[in-house]
């Protein structure tokens, strides 16, 4: 199997784009939408939230396909099989919950006529708009993101295994070295 030390540049790009969108969605959802009254003043931040949510959904689909076709990185370990299992489960659940939060947001928009409202249609406020499931899934998702972040920091600063460099863009020297090593491995197999 062809493995690398660092993730492919496409995976790295998608990871950080998704992280930035999740951060923006959190700020918009928590700081603006949660506290706003259910009137027309909610439309601009809700429109941004929906566009970013759809973009996130599309980027995650691309990311799933990209992971399937790009070389895998070497498995990392925390030196504990239970923690390694937790890491694998957390990564899987991050994907699942990203799709669940996006799917409930899309369903919420379609069933509550919010989509019609933000695209310029006229819908009377208050409308049927109960985001409980969407918000509850987001809270669970946020806990997974927190665990993922803490684990990355643990690897970087406690284990000092430089794990975070795997999810960053490789310097040209490292990229050439990785290509050289991969071609050597391919020739020897």
Query: Rounded to whole angstroms, how far apart are CA atoms 56 and 53?
Result: 5
Query: Rounded to whole angstroms, how far apart are CA atoms 30 and 16?
Result: 21
The residue ranges of every structural domain in the chain are 3-174
pLDDT tens for each residue of 49-106: 999 999 999 999 999 999 999 998 888 888 899 999 999 999 999 999 999 999 998 8
Omega before residue 80 within 30° of 0, cis: no
Helices (H) and strands (E) in the chain, counts: 6, 2
Q: Which pLDDT score, from 0 to 100, does residue 181 have? A: 45
**HSE value, Cβ hemisphere, 13 Å, CA-based, for 14:** 20
Do 71 and 8 touch, CB atoms closer than 8 A? yes
Which range has highest mean pLDDT (51-60, 102-111, 122-131)? 51-60
């Amino acid at each position: 199997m062809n493995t690398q030390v660092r993730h492919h540049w496409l995976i790295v790009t998608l990871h950080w784009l998704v992280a930035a969108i999740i951060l923006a969605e959190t700020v918009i959802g928590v700081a603006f939408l949660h506290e706003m009254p259910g009137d027309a003043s909610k439309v601009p931040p809700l429109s941004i939230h929906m566009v970013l949510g759809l973009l996130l959904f599309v980027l995650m689909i691309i990311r799933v396909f990209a992971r399937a076709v790009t070389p895998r990185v070497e498995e990392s370990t925390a030196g504990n099989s239970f923690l390694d299992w937790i890491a694998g489960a957390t990564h899987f659940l991050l994907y699942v919950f990203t799709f669940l939060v996006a799917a409930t947001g899309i369903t919420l928009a379609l069933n509550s006529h919010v989509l019609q409202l933000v695209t310029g249609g006229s819908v009377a406020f208050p409308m049927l708009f109960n985001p409980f499931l969407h918000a509850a899934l987001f809270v669970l998702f946020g806990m997974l993101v927190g665990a993922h972040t803490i684990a990355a920091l643990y690897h970087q600063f406690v284990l000092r295994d430089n794990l975070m460099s795997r999810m960053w863009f490789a310097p040209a020297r490292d990229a050439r070295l990785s290509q050289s090593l991969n071609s050597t491995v391919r020739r020897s197999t």
